[in-house]
Structure formats: C-alpha cells, structure tokens
Amino acid sequence: MATFVLVPGAWHGAWCYKRVTPLLRQAGHEVYPLTLTGLADRSHLCDDSVNLSTHIDDVVNLLQWEELSDVILVGHSYAGVVLGGVAEKAADRLGALVFLDAFMPAAGQSMIDISPREVPDTGTLPPYTAAGMKVNEADQAWVDAMVTPQPVHTYTEPLDAADAYLTVARKVYVRTTFPSAGWQAAYEQYSADPAWETHLVDCGHDLMIDKPAELAQILLGVA
C-alpha cells in the first residue's frame, strides 16, 4: 500500500482531485487530498499573513501529524514550488515527487519571478478562467464556481532554498498539452534526464479534472 498526498495548484482546493482520489483508494492506497490555507474550504483563513511558507508548513505538518513516511507527494502547477519547500524540511518522509504541469523550485525566486504578472501589495490574486486554462467545456462552469482567490504573498515570498527535492529517490514530471514555454522546457529537460520519469497527457492544464483515469494510472505506476 502506498501513501499519496495530493497538493492543488493556485486557486484550487482538494476538490480538484475528487475524481482521482477514489481511483487510488479503490486500488488499496492511502490518499490525502489537501487544501492549502486560504483557499477553497479553507478560504475563511485567507488574509495577508498567508504566504508560501504557510503552504509549505501545511504539507509538512500533515506529514508529521499523520505520521506519514515514504510518501508519494503530488503537486499541480504552483504547488511545484510548495513541493520544493517541503523537500527542504521533510525529504526523509518522501518516497517520490510527482510534478503536474508544475513550476519548478529555484532558490531565491518567488512565483512572480517564475511567472510574472501584476500583483497588489496586499490582498489576493483573482483566478484565471477555466476556459483560459483549457478545461474541457463540460466542466468549465463548475471549475469557475469552485476556484477562490489566491493569497498574494504566496506568490511574492521567495523560496529560501530549492535543491533538496533532487535527492528524493523518484522524481516524475507529468506534462499536459496546454501551451506553456516554461512547462514545456521543464518537460524536455527531464525527458532527457535518466533521473526523471516523464509523461505527456493530451488535455488542458487541469489534468486531474480532464483526464482523471489517465492521471490515476500514472500515479499507480509510481506506487
């Protein structure tokens, strides 16, 4: 039995994995879909104290208090940076890292450095539309109703260090066909690196919504 911790990207919550979670559990694995502080079912906690460190601690504390080890830690999009921070604090609890169309951690960089956009000094960032993220048409209204504003300091706080994730035994990068120069460059880099396993899924950016069965099969292959 494997243990999965599923971390959503910006504006999303644990709800985005609701189609993948039962597929992994039906295969006999433990699954912990996580909502980061200030988002979705934890949106009542959204204020200017929430930053990248908060989200890293959300995951580290789950690993600690649920007494989890040899975890397959999965992160979508923005959560790639969160995974990098988690590895700095809890690499000994991780058996594999799975990056889903994810931004890759770089020491001293914030999300604004990696993915530039105009941001306010305080408050939140409004979500992109589901159509803009190429979510399938049938689910666009649902996704637009479910996403919540992102605490701005999760995007502006830089990551202190970012190389411990490279020490995790198994590293997987899953790319979608959503157009993005940054994610494509990461996919091509890791496809050429024998230390990484890579997959390509033909769908929009929210692959856990568009292709849950295909994503579950990839994750089961990591278990």
Residues marked as catalytic: 77
Pair 14, 5: CB distance under 8 Å: no
Pair 212, 186: CB distance under 8 Å: no
99 CB contacts (<8 Å, ≥6 apart)?
Answer: 75, 80, 83, 171, 172, 173, 174, 186
Calpha distance 127→137 (Å, rounded): 17
Calpha distance 69→88 (Å, rounded): 15
Calpha distance 34→14 (Å, rounded): 5
